[in-house]
Amino acid sequence: MVSFNLDGQSPKEDIEREYVPEDSYPAVIHDISDIKTFAVWNKPNETEEKMVITFAVSVDGKQVNLPMFAKPVVTKGSGTYSNSKMFDLLEVCGLMEEAKKIRDEIEVMDSAELKNKTFVDFLSKNLLQKTCKVITKTIKKGTSEQYSVVDKLLRFGA
């Protein structure tokens, strides 16, 4: 993906920020973004590609939209390495076999843009408006800037 940064500023995230106590909550997968470039939080001059999966989380009867940031990488862990967040998401949702099929299609594509679009379309088709249970995590805990994100999908379905 082409990216220009001519003024030396870190890319800004255009994401809603809400805070909820860390816990597990029922949710609905509300939106899956295109793959975007974000600043690496502890390396201001570096960027990385991520997807934002937005969950409509039910907290005390109120709906709150919380993001899950995931690299568009599907990797099974081995040894001391953990699974990628996307691998765990596909596994919990029972989409690993379908993901293997789409992988075969994506690997022969020439355009990175087409690969990204195909993967996002696959996720959108299979995940949008599905119910699940999620675990939240607090970012910048204990500061005036604290906000919540979805850390992981606990289970798929009601």
Domain membership of residue 124 (yes or no) is yes
Helix H, strand E, coil C: the string for the chain is CCCCCCCCCCCCCCCCCCCCCCCEEEEEEEEECCCEEEEECCEEEEEEEEEEEEEEEEECCEEEEEEEEECCCCCCCCCCCCCCHHHHHHHHCCCHHHHHHHHHHHHCCCCHHHHHHHHHHHHHHHHCCCEEEEEEEEECCCCCCCEEEEEEEEEECC
Q: Residue 46 belongs to what domain range?
A: 24-156
Quick check: is 14 in a domain?
no
Q: Does residue 53 lie in a domain region?
A: yes
- Mean pLDDT per block of 10 residues along the chain (158 residues) reads 41 71 95 88 86 93 93 89 91 92 91 92 94 94 93 84
Number of structural domains found in the chain: 1
Q: What pLDDT is recorded for position 137?
A: 96
